[in-house]
Amino acid sequence: MPYKDHFITTNRINLHYIEYECSKNKPTLVLLHGLTANAHAFDGLVYRGLANHFRVIAPDLRGRGHSDKPAFHYGLKHHAKDIIGLLDHLGIEKALIGGHSFGGLLSVYLANYYPERVEKVIILDAAAEMNAKVPLMLMPVLKRLDRTFPSFEQYLDYAKAAPQNSNWDEVMTTYYRADVRTLPDGRVRPYANLTKMIKVSIGVANQPWRSLFSEVRQPSLLINGADIYNLGEPILPDFKARESVSLMPDGRYVRVDGNHQTMLYGAGAGQIVNAISGFLNES
């Protein structure tokens, strides 16, 4: 997958971003991913399907040891300022914005507070009325991984035992490998400070999203997984997704196979790319 790594200073922090397609003559598509270990799967998925038609840029919200302040250290307001700083740095007046999970809500935030910079919005599995229990549901799972492991293989075995992780193909494993740093003695440590991640997640869940969704004036696409998340309670039930779209003056809805996580890898992946492609190529 050809791409270039870049580092800029915006709002007094070092921000890492990836540029997947360098043609300046194509429309710019900015991808904003979520907080979990498969966050960058969304970047790669959309790149593989759409890079022939768009200049694809993915700010490193997850951190991965490259950015000074990864996503779980601060909230939506500060992230939005960083994204606008990135657009300013690249000389981009207006961009197509899309995001998965946390990144989807950040897309909505940008559409509200910086409407002149956002042309269209893609929201992947992010609701105007979130399930507020989700951060607390995830806490026991995440805390299991907030430690140092003897090797990557043992870290991976431990991660696979978590009930929400049901897909373990080569791509999934690659994203987990990128999610840890290897210590000099061969042990591995996840980059995330999981306590801070939970704090940010709870803060996001308590945002007044219904009012923010209703104020989105740009053409918007909300994509939702059809299946229940493996923890036993959906992050975004179908009826809430449809309600979210109904709040947006120019919103549309596509339901794909899979859940919050698995739709990025299975049959839902192709459906997601097709839905985004059709939406972005509308006049």
Determine the Cα–Cα distance for residues 141 and 162; give it in Å rounded to an integer. 6
Crossing angle between the packed helical segments 41-50 and 170-177, to the nearest 10 degrees? 130
Tokens of 266: 């299975």
Q: Confirm if 67 and 16 have CB atoms less than 8 A apart.
A: yes
pLDDT at 171: 62
**pLDDT for residue 231:** 53
DSSP state of 149: B
pLDDT value of residue 61: 81
Six-digit token string for 155: 């870290």
Q: Can you read off the two tokens belonging to residue 178?
A: 């990128």
- Delineate the domains of the chain, giving CATH numbers in brackets: 4-130+194-280 (3.40.50.1820)
Compute CA distances 135 → 227, 235, 245, whole Å: 19, 10, 23
C-alpha distances in Å from residue 15, one per residue of 21, 200, 247: 19, 19, 33
* Per-residue pLDDT tens over the stretch 29-45: 999 988 776 677 788 78
The pLDDT of residue 192 is 64
Q: Give the pLDDT of the chain (283 residues) as one tens digit per residue.
A: 567 888 888 888 888 888 876 677 889 999 998 877 667 778 878 888 887 888 999 888 877 657 776 666 678 898 999 999 999 999 999 999 999 988 999 999 999 999 999 999 999 988 887 767 767 776 776 677 778 999 999 988 887 776 555 556 676 677 677 778 889 999 998 876 666 777 777 788 788 899 999 999 999 999 998 877 655 445 567 788 899 999 999 999 999 998 877 788 778 889 999 999 999 988 6
Quick one: how far is CA 83 from the chain centroid? 14
Distance (Å) of CA 131 to CA 163, 266, 282: 18, 24, 32
